[in-house]
């Protein structure tokens, strides 16, 4: 197998650290980059990500991708760029999301355009760009028109759009992944909330009518498919939904997590989900106002944009990905969730 020189942005985050690890395990040369504040992270899980990247990458270069000057200093004499860097937050202000996710991508693409040696630019988009499920677009395919429902997804869509524009205008070859709920070890935001809830709660329960599907993809699979597709001619200038074959429902997921941690689980009588969601969204508004204006803490406990996705039935097609011949490392999330739950438990990360 040929060995490549690769650049990974956002290399000290959850997905970035896995990308670096996977590339290094395949014997490729990895130049890793991330913003200095992330490299300096002291929170235990974040620190694990940084340590992994430091151990596996040939070089770790601090770089703030929002600065064109800093980006231009990055070594871009590489075969592949895996652009993972992104603000992943449902409560970050639009200005921040735009600056990092969109402007940062523009800066990187500009630098690549000037170098012209990069064989493929692989971008981490987001499965959420399709917005709320619609009967005429079920399941979501790559042909479904994006309809990003919140600022985070909007920024991710702009990021994709920018990449496609650079592809068309400047001939930069790209592949875009749209991962759904990513999970795995070293995660500190997003899918890990399922495990954390299971670990912390005394008992788990869900109303019978809150049984929508939860799309999953293991972090190693997202990284593996990024490397796989980067080398595929047919994946040039293409977009791929990145989710596994499972169709677990919310009740199946929570029952499984309850079993992992030995917590009782009950299916509760149906509740008026719509009304509860409205109430929670209203509380989230108050929570955000108090946190930002009164307590000056930044984000509140509830994230309105995340709550907005509550009880929506997300189904994604991965037929396009599978047509390339890609074979999942974790076709069923149970194995990966067990592995992750053991990692969090042994490291006592949820006790900190």
- Between residues 267 and 273, which has the closer beta carbon with respect to another protein? 267
Member of 41, 259, 280, 302 binding another protein (CB under 8 A): 259
- Between residues 100 and 214, which has the closer beta carbon with respect to another protein? 214
Member of 256, 316, 328, 344 binding another protein (CB under 8 A): 256
Residue 266 as a binder of another protein (CB under 8 A): the answer is yes
Stretch that binds another protein, among 171-179, 229-237, 248-256, 271-279 (CB under 8 A): 248-256
**Minimum CB distance to another protein, residue 299 (Å):** 31
Residue 216 as a binder of another protein (CB under 8 A): the answer is no
Q: Which positions ≥6 away from 33 have C-beta within 8 Å?
A: 7, 8, 9, 11, 60, 61, 62, 63, 65, 74, 85
Residue 264 as a binder of another protein (CB under 8 A): the answer is yes
Stretch that binds another protein, among 49-57, 91-99, 265-273, 295-303 (CB under 8 A): 265-273
Q: How far apart are CA 28 and CA 30, in angstroms?
A: 6
Residue 156 as a binder of another protein (CB under 8 A): the answer is no
Residue 2 as a binder of another protein (CB under 8 A): the answer is no
- Collapsing DSSP states into helix, strand and coil, what is residue 220? helix
Please state whether beta strands 181-183 and 265-268 pair in parallel, antiparallel, or not at all (unpaired): unpaired
**Minimum CB distance to another protein, residue 268 (Å):** 11
- The CA-to-CA distance between both ends of the chain, in Å, stands at 42
Number of neighbours of residue 327 by Cβ within 10 angstroms? 10
Q: Where in 292-351 is the site for another protein (CB under 8 A)?
A: 334, 338, 341-342
Q: Return the HEC string of 66-117.
A: CCHHHHHCCCCCCCEEEECCCCCCCCCCHHHHHHHHHHHHHHHHHHHHHHCC
| Interface positions with another protein (CB under 8 A) | 203, 252, 255-256, 258-267, 334, 338, 341-342
């Amino acid at each position: 197998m040929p060995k490549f020189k690769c650049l990974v942005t956002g290399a000290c985050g959850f997905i970035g650290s896995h990308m670096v690890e996977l590339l290094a395990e395949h014997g490729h040369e990895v130049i890793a980059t991330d913003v200095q504040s992330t490299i300096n992270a002291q929170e235990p899980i974040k620190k694990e990500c940084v340590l992994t990247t430091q151990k596996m990458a040939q070089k770790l270069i601090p770089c703030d991708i929002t600065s064109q000057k800093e980006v231009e200093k990055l070594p871009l004499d590489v075969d592949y760029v895996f652009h993972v860097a992104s603000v992943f937050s449902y409560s970050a202000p639009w200005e921040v999301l735009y600056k990092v996710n969109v402007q940062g991508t523009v800066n990187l693409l500009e630098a690549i355009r000037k170098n012209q040696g990069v064989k493929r630019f692989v971008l981490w988009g987001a499965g959420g760009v399709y917005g709320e499920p619609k009967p005429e677009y079920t399941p979501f395919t790559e042909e479904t028109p994006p309809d990003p429902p919140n600022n985070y997804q909007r920024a991710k869509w702009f990021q994709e759009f920018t990449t496609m524009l650079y592809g068309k205008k400047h001939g930069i070859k790209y592949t875009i992944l749209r991962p759904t709920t990513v999970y795995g070890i070293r995660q500190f935001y997003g899918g890990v909330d399922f495990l954390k809830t299971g670990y912390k709660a005394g008992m788990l329960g869900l109303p019978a009518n809150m049984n929508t599907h939860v799309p999953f993809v293991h972090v190693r699979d997202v990284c593996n498919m990024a490397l796989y597709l980067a080398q595929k001619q047919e994946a040039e200038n293409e977009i791929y939904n990145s989710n596994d074959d499972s169709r677990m429902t919310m009740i199946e997921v929570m029952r499984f997590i309850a079993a992992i941690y030995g917590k009782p689980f009950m299916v509760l009588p149906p509740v008026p989900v719509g009304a509860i969601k409205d109430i929670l969204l209203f509380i989230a508004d108050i929570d955000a106002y108090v946190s930002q204006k009164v307590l000056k803490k930044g984000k509140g406990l509830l994230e309105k944009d995340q709550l907005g996705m509550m009880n929506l039935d997300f189904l994604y097609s991965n037929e396009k990905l599978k047509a390339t011949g890609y074979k999942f490392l974790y076709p069923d999330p149970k194995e990966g969730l067990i592995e992750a739950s053991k990692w969090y438990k042994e490291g006592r990360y949820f006790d900190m």
